[in-house]
């Protein structure tokens, strides 16, 4: 397979108006969650849960979302209402996440992918648009590789082919801080890992910084135990298999992401033969910083619409042979 690529550059953002798809900001207030149902299921003795917001008039396959290790099924309600006009939205807490049962670290990503496949079978979704961000990206990619019949399209946000060395190096320190109940130091370390220092270039950055600071400082013992298990899983199991998924795939992140960097994301996209994009004015926490832009990107990719010309994208690279229009 050829490794040659051509790059499509997005136009500069308009100078005198709000960019289309841009989050209106904290003054607009939170979105009211769409009407949804919750389903508790069990796989191999582990109970887990999902939230299902059914679309009244879907135009594409259901969207199934697996977030990062500290996100839960309610972390995506700001996306749920605008996306529900186009597709049913399923947000998932697999074993080891959120309110689901704890999952020992001896269970790896194949198990989590199989649990996701179990969910999709039980819900009788048919093939879905599968979105995985950060830690959830490893599960989503593994599901697309191992259970391709479930996946119509795959979106990998803030996902890398290899775990960042800077993150792996911090795991023993975080484990020690948890064991010694040094919550404030742990919160400071996590915050600096996931978010760049306050930066006026990043949309809503101060508000997101405050929210994450509060979240990291108020984690429950269950939250901390599950996070430690996720980190131990990273140490014990292969993060990624080499197979290229059959489903059309998009890899993307915030242009200022310093944890799962654009360079790392681009490398993964090239290995998967997938397009790669960056969201302007965002870092690793783009789902919080650029809600409307992220929603529009999801709708565009899952609706098979062109990504060229979207003003909220910075870099955009397609593999050679893929038609960008």
Residue 20: predicted pLDDT: 30
What is the spatial distance between Cα 292 and Cα 294, in angstroms, rounded to a whole number?
A: 5
* Strand-strand pairing, 276-279 and 249-254: parallel
Q: Which helix (H) or strand (E) holds 250?
A: strand 249-254
Confidence of residue 323 (pLDDT cuts 50, 70, 90): low
pLDDT surpassing 70 at residue 5: no
Which CATH number is associated with domain 31-164+238-319? Answer: 3.40.50.1820
Lowest pLDDT segment from 5-14, 47-56, 150-159, 290-299: 5-14
- Give tens-digit pLDDT for 80-136: 999 999 999 999 999 999 999 999 999 999 999 999 999 999 999 999 999 999 999
Smallest Cα–Cα separation from 273: which of 242, 308, 318? 318
Give CA–CA dist 168/280, Å, rounded.
27
Q: At 23, is the pLDDT very low, low, confident or very high (cuts 50, 70, 90)?
A: very low
Position of tokens 């100078």? 15
Q: How far is CA 207 from the centre of its chain?
A: 20
Instruction: Indicate whether 286 pLDDT > 60.
Output: yes
Question: Domain locations in the chain?
Answer: 31-164+238-319
225 sits in which H/E element: helix 221-236
Residue 289 CB coordination number (10 Å): 23
Whether 324 has a pLDDT exceeding 70, the answer reads no
């Amino acid at each position: 397979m050829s490794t040659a690529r051509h790059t499509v550059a997005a136009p500069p953002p308009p100078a005198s108006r709000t960019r289309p798809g841009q989050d209106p900001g904290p003054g607009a207030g939170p979105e009211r969650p769409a009407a949804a149902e919750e389903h508790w299921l069990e796989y191999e003795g582990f109970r887990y849960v999902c939230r299902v917001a059914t679309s009244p008039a879907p135009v594409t396959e259901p969207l199934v979302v697996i977030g990062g290790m500290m996100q839960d099924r309610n972390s995506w309600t700001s996306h749920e209402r605008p996306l529900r006009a186009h597709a049913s939205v399923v947000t998932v807490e697999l074993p080891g996440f959120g309110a689901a049962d704890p999952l020992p670290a001896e269970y790896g990503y194949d198990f989590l992918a199989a649990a996701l496949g179990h969910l999709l079978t039980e819900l009788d979704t048919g093939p879905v648009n599968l979105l995985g961000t950060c830690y959830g990206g490893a599960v989503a990619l593994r599901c697309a590789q191992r259970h391709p019949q479930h996946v119509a399209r795959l979106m990998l946000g803030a996902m890398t082919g290899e775990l960042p060395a800077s993150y792996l190096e911090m795991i023993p320190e975080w484990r020690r801080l948890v064991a010694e109940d040094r919550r404030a130091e742990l919160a400071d370390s996590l915050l600096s890992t996931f978010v760049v220092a306050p930066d006026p270039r990043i949309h809503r950055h101060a508000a997101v910084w405050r929210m994450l600071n509060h979240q990291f400082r108020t984690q429950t013992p269950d939250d901390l135990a599950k996070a430690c298990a996720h980190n131990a899983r990273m140490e014990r199991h292969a993060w990624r298999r080499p197979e290229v998924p059959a489903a059309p795939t998009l890899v993307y992140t915030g242009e200022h992401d310093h944890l799962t960097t654009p360079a790392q994301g681009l490398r993964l996209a090239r290995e998967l033969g997938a397009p790669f994009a960056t969201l302007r004015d965002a870092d690793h926490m783009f789902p919080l910083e650029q809600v409307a832009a992220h929603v529009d990107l999801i709708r565009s990719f899952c609706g098979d619409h062109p990504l060229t010309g979207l003003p909220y994208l910075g870099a955009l690279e397609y593999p050679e042979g893929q038609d960008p229009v």
